Structure 1
């Protein structure tokens, strides 16, 4: 299967990010290189792109897509939580722009054997890094009922989390759950019929929760945003595309925190010594035309800031 993915907020994000054709840019979620291809098209021979991803299929697709770029391109297999280490290994002390696209690629969703989608029959995998040890199968078949309920509620914001966890544990006592289809069937049994009539697919929130747990998606965001802003040169820009409320809240709060100066009480002299690191952050949602052409863009939001 060819690595196909329609990049969300492509032009707005790259328009924001690329300010210098001779600059150094980091795409922390390279994927099939949709955003990166647009970035390199705007760079000169003196420019440079560093693309980071942990998915072998994405890395192979990106290498092929970027092979004719006129600027220098470095493709690195890593998790973006290692951003600081990646830049140190490349002997880069400051970069011009850093982009994160936190969505799951269409390729990953539409490849059944990756196990990301509740719409396709496949193994309960969900690893973005195929070499990682933890899979959705392990979580579903070994986590306690309490732990399952907690993560489905915390990462999926699923109101039926306790009931879903209870049904999973009951079913796996009969036989382990190894496929997406088996899990979807259990979730459908757990959620009362009346509650399944409206809203998204009944398994959507549980699958989101499992994917976040497998890839530790939320815990790494706060520190890596700090690392990214730290790596920017003055005037350098960061753009982060989010797709669901949990990650968007973390990104929004972190950028706001970095834009805040003194946090001492207003009537007291400053003792905290805090200075703002970025200008006031902004945000952007996709236009209607983009959502019509790509429904997966509906929940996306670009959050951005410039380093002082």
Structure 2
């Protein structure tokens, strides 16, 4: 073999080796990318995903009790006899509802329900409020952002499915990253969960009937139609269920009208009003407008607008873990 042939042979050998190495390293990367895509399509990020919002949520104290009566007594010890309080809600709640909640009288059931969920709803709104304030500030000096602040803005945009390269990116992000009125959240939670007594709330801490197609350990709906594969999503706590519900309303295409109504309230410097904002919930239930009127009726009958003016007693804070809540697409929004 002459010198030219030897050189060609060596080059051919390296081409083959390089191709083998490329396949060897690319295959797992491609597989990881495919898996990640599949999970993003479903809207539920894998549990190891780091929280994209390095903001802090008011720390809640979680108490336990064997019965509704005992739990209510302990909640009153921390928060006083009056409910709702005049201004400040104690940051005391429970991770789940007591097993006998469906066995107590209606008045006790409602008080337990509201005392547990109100601090959670207010805490989640505080987290969103802090994130929103950051976006407003970051948007005003976006060209100067660098380091952790820039990464934080990018993480928020990705999480809320906003392309930062768009000219109106900050405006769109603020349109999605906003609070949910406590009166509407509490009314929907009561409606969807049967005041905390439904099967999917008791067994899965699922307050809003959210579905999943990937969670193998999810609950199979009792009335699931033939050929359907969805399950009721399982949450580690009631707080995770509230956080996921907030994300669904803030990102799901089915709730564009709701976010538009909320933006109008912001533009007019009005307080967020759940009774008015519930007009954007027609897609949440197959009952459409009848469902909206039912939520509004619950807000009025239980005088839940009083909750909107309350603030959470904030003493300490802990980092959020929003990614664990995930973000279901609108197809997962409701229904057992």
User: Relative to total residues, which structure has the larger helix share, 1 or 2?
Assistant: 2
TM range (shorter): under 0.3
User: Relative to total residues, which structure has the larger strand share, 1 or 2?
Assistant: 1
Give the TM-score taking structure 2 as reference length.
0.24
Larger Rg: 2
